[in-house]
Structure 1
């Protein structure tokens, strides 16, 4: 059969040692959506409910219908989210960063009736330092997930950058385990902060279907290529990439499907309200997989060419690749040679069409090759399935995470 059902048992056999009572304190919502939220949700999807407490900030807060079922959630009020989208955002963000010490006692109150044995946080936003202070105060192990390069990404005053980097280094070295989203991040952080980390790639959902081969229709001639992008659009570099792909596809009789939270209004502002662009909204992982398999010929992975985005895209990792590679469809990666997606694809030869220069002619050539050659599409789809099984299996991420929680983590150098 082409499809097998994923097993839903616990991936890591901890023997006589139970997983710790875990307190999550962070700004990244634990919900079934996208990016870091999806990574967290999937990591904790099978965690014992009575041994988990989620304390989220309100910038933003998770949607109730997307939360982990049966798990206790609490919201820690940090500030006013609207101010982070105004001209004084970098001032307000700096103030929120400087006032992290005020929040530790409030975490104590939110933990009433729950005695944690470990603290988990994501190094994004403002609560990772609160989590570190709480862990230090109570003598608890701190486990960090590093999904974005926050010291380079934070929107704060220039005079605050060095302070954030220094604080990040202190917290990173404090942590019992440091789980980095790519080997590029792990190596960069070892060089910067002199502490070892483990690689925790994004994973698929526990109920993600497993396909053994690409869809049969991929081997048939294409009557207008259908390309899909899933996720959020973060910045002008990604908007340009999507507009370029859409306009090339329009000339070739193809279309671009966008799966994610992009609204009609925001698509208009971004210049993506084009006749061959369809907004499909946000959907569950298994539904997304079905749409990919039924409708899509190529999955698009844009990475920004903007110089301002270089520090982040060089070491972070596009979480969409976990789901993309499960579909058995060819990948088209459009990004600079130093981006993590391009480096990963080159280390896994034959997994993707790669365009590593911001050049419409080169992008058009790649799209035309994919449209004209069904055998090429099948070969790329098959290779994507193979690479996905090696890197993004649910069980693999669970094993890395549980080993870290149980103390099998790399020590500081």
Structure 2
């Protein structure tokens, strides 16, 4: 099956959506993939689109005090001529066009799907209008276009139930959780029997840019705790220099762990922490995004601890079947109190361990997620979406 991915998000052995695509496509022998984007994609067959003059100007202006105005313009001008994409598609003859609803290249994918009548599969990983950096006055229109992309796709792959609900009904929409990145060691290597005589080692990995403030308050609250050891792994947190130095000296913050060593490091944890932000203005983003680290953590069969608002996707996922320890109070003291209870209850640790194991063997199983992904592409092959309309401007 020939798939052309026209997208601002491309496969890459890095974090976030790039890593999800990397794991979907790296060993997919049944797929002949061509990536069409605006930069190199090492390890994958690809074509690089040359940005037009207006797009290059907007990119420069976006680095000035006129940044928001430039970002507004980028949402209404295609980065390159659609004719170049059409030429690539004519030569490649794809069975399926795929895109990620992020950035502005999805507009080129939609336009080509319209003209060629090749089915379009769209991956919705986050609510792009809220990340676009544009002026608030444009958000309602961007929301409308975002939902129209959903309706004009032959298949919509939504990262969580919250995303599917926010986008609205679609005859071929389904939830596809992020495919786990990396690999967990064998369970015999990762297993540590719950005990009350040692410190409970809790590890957080990932984004310390957006979540640095939350993790800082948690580290501050627990840095002297005799029975809880919270460690964070992530680069460039916006922390005061003295705090960064203190956390490094205590061994509680590690700015970088090589990918090949990360699995072994995570195997030393007794539990894993997932954080989602509480600010009211971020509510929709928290409802419609799903932390890929949850699927990764589950593979280790260790308790998962989620610290976030009740409405966030991670908490909603955990509530179905008591899959994780949930803390919905943004006060780090509430997090500390919950971890103290967990540290003092080997039975509770064992129960949450079993819940993580069940998730890893069912809906968060990597092989199952990959079969679902490949099936969504295969099932739509040769079935152009008759819903395609002119409801989104791509000029």
Matched, 1:201 2:174: no
* Whole-angstrom distance in 2 between the partners of 1:143 and 1:86: 35
Q: Which runs of 5+ in 1 are unaligned?
A: 1-18
* Whole-angstrom distance in 2 between the partners of 1:290 and 1:152: 36
After TM superposition, give the deviation of residue 134 of structure 1 in Å: 1.7
Q: Deviations over 1:303-332 (max 9, x none)?
A: 000112100111221111111001122111
Alignment partner of 1:144: what SS?
Answer: strand
Aligned to 2:233: 259
Matched, 1:140 2:118: yes
After TM superposition, give the deviation of residue 52 of structure 1 in Å: 0.7
* Whole-angstrom distance in 2 between the partners of 1:400 and 1:270: 47
Aligned to 2:262: 288
After TM superposition, give the deviation of residue 91 of structure 1 in Å: 1.5
Aligned to 1:403: 375
Matched, 1:298 2:298: no
- Cα separation, partners in 2 of 1:226 and 1:268, compared to 1, 3 Å: farther
After TM superposition, give the deviation of residue 348 of structure 1 in Å: 2.2
After TM superposition, give the deviation of residue 398 of structure 1 in Å: 2.1
* Whole-angstrom distance in 2 between the partners of 1:109 and 1:272: 51
Kindly indicate whether the alpha-carbon contact (under 8 Å) linking 1:173 and 1:412 is maintained by their aligned counterparts in 2.
Answer: no
* Whole-angstrom distance in 1 between the partners of 2:242 and 2:16: 21
Query: Aligned to 1:344, which of 317, 320, 323?
Result: 317
Alignment partner of 1:391: what SS?
Answer: coil
After TM superposition, give the deviation of residue 83 of structure 1 in Å: 5.4
Query: Aligned to 1:151, which of 117, 129, 137?
Result: 129
- Cα separation, partners in 2 of 1:169 and 1:75, compared to 1, 3 Å: same
After TM superposition, give the deviation of residue 124 of structure 1 in Å: 0.7
* Whole-angstrom distance in 2 between the partners of 1:269 and 1:112: 55
* Whole-angstrom distance in 1 between the partners of 2:200 and 2:339: 8
List aligned pairs for 1:308-387, cutoff 5 A: 308-349=281-322, 351-387=323-359
Aligned to 1:11: none
Kindly indicate whether the alpha-carbon contact (under 8 Å) linking 1:244 and 1:360 is maintained by their aligned counterparts in 2.
Answer: yes
Aligned to 1:247: 220
Alignment partner of 2:310: what SS?
Answer: coil
Kindly indicate whether the alpha-carbon contact (under 8 Å) linking 1:213 and 1:328 is maintained by their aligned counterparts in 2.
Answer: no
Alignment partner of 1:332: what SS?
Answer: strand
* Whole-angstrom distance in 2 between the partners of 1:245 and 1:273: 16
Query: Aligned to 1:104, which of 82, 105, 112?
Result: 82
Matched, 1:42 2:23: yes
- Cα separation, partners in 2 of 1:398 and 1:100, compared to 1, 3 Å: same
Aligned to 2:12: 31
After TM superposition, give the deviation of residue 29 of structure 1 in Å: 2.8
Alignment partner of 2:47: what SS?
Answer: strand
Alignment partner of 1:313: what SS?
Answer: helix
After TM superposition, give the deviation of residue 282 of structure 1 in Å: 5.2
Kindly indicate whether the alpha-carbon contact (under 8 Å) linking 1:180 and 1:199 is maintained by their aligned counterparts in 2.
Answer: yes
The more displaced of 209-218 and 179-188 is 209-218
After TM superposition, give the deviation of residue 208 of structure 1 in Å: 2.9
The more displaced of 48-57 and 353-362 is 48-57
Aligned to 1:76: 49
Aligned to 1:14: none
* Whole-angstrom distance in 1 between the partners of 2:73 and 2:171: 28
Aligned residues: 376
Matched, 1:217 2:192: yes
List aligned pairs for 1:219-238, cutoff 5 A: 219-221=194-196, 223-235=198-210, 238=211
Alignment partner of 1:301: what SS?
Answer: strand
- Cα separation, partners in 2 of 1:364 and 1:258, compared to 1, 3 Å: closer
* Whole-angstrom distance in 2 between the partners of 1:272 and 1:218: 32
Alignment partner of 1:217: what SS?
Answer: coil
* Whole-angstrom distance in 1 between the partners of 2:346 and 2:134: 49
Q: CA RMSD in A?
A: 3.0
